[in-house]
Chains A and B, each alone.
Chain A
Amino acid sequence: MRSLRLCLLLATTLLFAGCPKYQPSVNFDHNGFVKRINDHFAAKETEYFKAVGTSEYATAKIRRNELIEDALPFIDEAYMDFITALQSGRDRDNFVADVIELGTTGAVGITKGARPLQILGVALTAFRGGRHSADLNFYKEQTTPVLINKMDGNRAKVRATILNREKEEVATYSMGAAVGDIVEYYNAGTLVRAFTELSKDTAIQTKQSEDDVLVLKGVPLTGEATQPQRDLRVGAVKILQAFQSNLAGTDSGKKAAATTSLQAIIATLGKDSTVASVLSNAGISPQDDGTKILNQLIDIRRSAQLVNNNSLVDKIDQVIIAQGIAPVATPTPTPSPTPSSSPVATPVATPSPPPAGSPSQS
């Protein structure tokens, strides 16, 4: 029984995995598009080659162009049928999927209770995952109008080439080349060609709507932050928020602890000559009350951040984290994944060290 299961598993794996193909196989007897063109226009091709054989090149050119112009309407008709089916079929599928998504989204808004909400959330996530996978694998996440526009564009380019080449003589534009162009015209109207052309066309993605563009003047360009830099800023701001919460509260013990910590921060920062001059200009001293120190500290950090003076903000943040307190619980609706909350502001004996050599981009 076990062997049977193993065989079944292996057979299933082989059946679904298959073998990848690394090169196309050429078969001159294949009843494909080219053969069908040649069969359908065999009479015209015979006339063409007869004319070439008797050096009647003008006649050969006419026969060649007649063949092209006869073939293209068949391809145009097939293409129209194809895009109509594509558009209507996908519209219907998307409509049904949208109704399900919108219905579930609406249900989230009116459902009460954590468990039903959780179930709806998981169900919606799973449904969207399936839908996304289908869009990704079948349509490469492109909307139908974009795909059709791309195919139309591809076909127009090939058509222009054909029209241009029809003026050429048979010596430079042979029947073989003409059949090749007809095949190319057909391929230009396929989804596979649309996907490959779209992937080349990055410009379409950078197209922007003019009405939503902000013009910024006098604002310095801020480079991409690093993870340690982000952690330093966020770690410091959580401590400052905790100070703010404690100073605004009614617990005198917490207020006093926050003030003491802020005064210690200013005293430590004052030992750095660069920061000391900034503190002096702002009129802060270690003897000031907690609220004044906090507000001035926030202003100094903000001003430095705005001009990308990262070295100054790094110094301040490192001292805040080293001298600060553990963040207290904030009245946000969700638990924060960052530092553990404590209802009482307590001094941190050994805070996690600030990132070594915090980056500076200024």
Chain B
Amino acid sequence: MPILPRKYPKDISSLQGLEITCEGDEGGLFAHLVRLALGKDADNNNADVTAAEYDTDGTAGVSLGELIFEEYTTDVDAGSREAIHKTKGEPLVCKGKAFINGAAKNVIVFRG
């Protein structure tokens, strides 16, 4: 399972900006997003970054570059978002954290 790490700046403009960036990376890397987390940039004084991981395996039949990013508050909120997207046939990609405009947010990602 070759995993490709990526890091994005803390001041990314919006959740949609992060979504577009991850979709572009799925396209360019020919890999699917598997993880989103807060990170530290060891090459830059441990500055805050958003870390993402992409898996190059298992891309067959996956609609690469079609992601839906949403911010959630609690586990109940995340669970019901998952259920709503399930009714639309949009599977869960991952649940994690990301920096949006300098602030850490809980993010849940579905594949559209």
Interface residues of A (CB under 8 A from B): 98, 101-102, 104-105, 108-109, 117-118, 120-121, 124-125, 128, 141, 202, 205-209, 212-227, 229-230, 232-238, 240-241, 244-245, 248, 298, 301-302, 304-306, 313, 330-334, 336-338
Contacts and interface: CB of A to CB of B under 8 A. Distances in A.
B28 A305 contact: yes
Nearest to B10: A206
Contact of B87 (A121, A331, A337): A121
B80 A128 contact: yes
Given A125-B84, A236-B27, A338-B66, A226 B42 contact: no
Main secondary structure of the interface of B (DSSP, over half): mixed
B7 A221 contact: yes
Interface in B81-112: 82-84, 86-91, 96-97, 99, 102-105, 112
In the A-B complex, list the 8 residue pairs whose CB atoms are closest, starting with the nearest.
A233-B27, A121-B87, A234-B65, A305-B28, A334-B89, A217-B42, A225-B24, A237-B27
Contact of A336 (B18, B25, B63, B87): B63
Nearest to B4: A306
Contacts of B27: 230, 232-237
Nearest to A100: B80
A237 B112 contact: no
24 contacts: A108-B83, A120-B83, A120-B87, A121-B87, A124-B87, A208-B48, A209-B38, A212-B38, A212-B96, A215-B42, A215-B46, A216-B39, A220-B7, A222-B21, A229-B24, A230-B27, A233-B27, A234-B65, A241-B64, A302-B30, A306-B4, A313-B28, A332-B62, A336-B63
A336 B68 CA distance: 12
Interface string B2-25: 001111110011000110110111
B83 A224 contact: no
A227 B59 CA distance: 23
Nearest to A226: B20
Nearest to B37: A214
B63 A219 contact: no
A213 B80 contact: no
Interface residues of B, number: 64
Contacts of A105: 79-80, 82-83
Contacts of B39: 213-216
B8 to A, nearest CB: 6
Contacts of A109: 83, 86
Contacts of B112: 334, 336-337
Q: Which of B40, B44, B48 has the most CB of A within 10 A?
A: B40
Contacts of B26: 233-234, 237
B51 A241 contact: no
A208 B29 CA distance: 29
A209 B37 CA distance: 10
B33 interface: no
Contacts of B46: 215
A336 B66 contact: yes
Nearest to A304: B28
Nearest to B2: A302
A121 B64 contact: no
A282 B17 CA distance: 33
A225 to B, nearest CB: 4
A118 B87 contact: yes
B65 A230 contact: yes
A304 B66 CA distance: 21
A302 B56 contact: yes
Contacts of B38: 208-209, 212-214
Contacts of A223: 8-9, 21
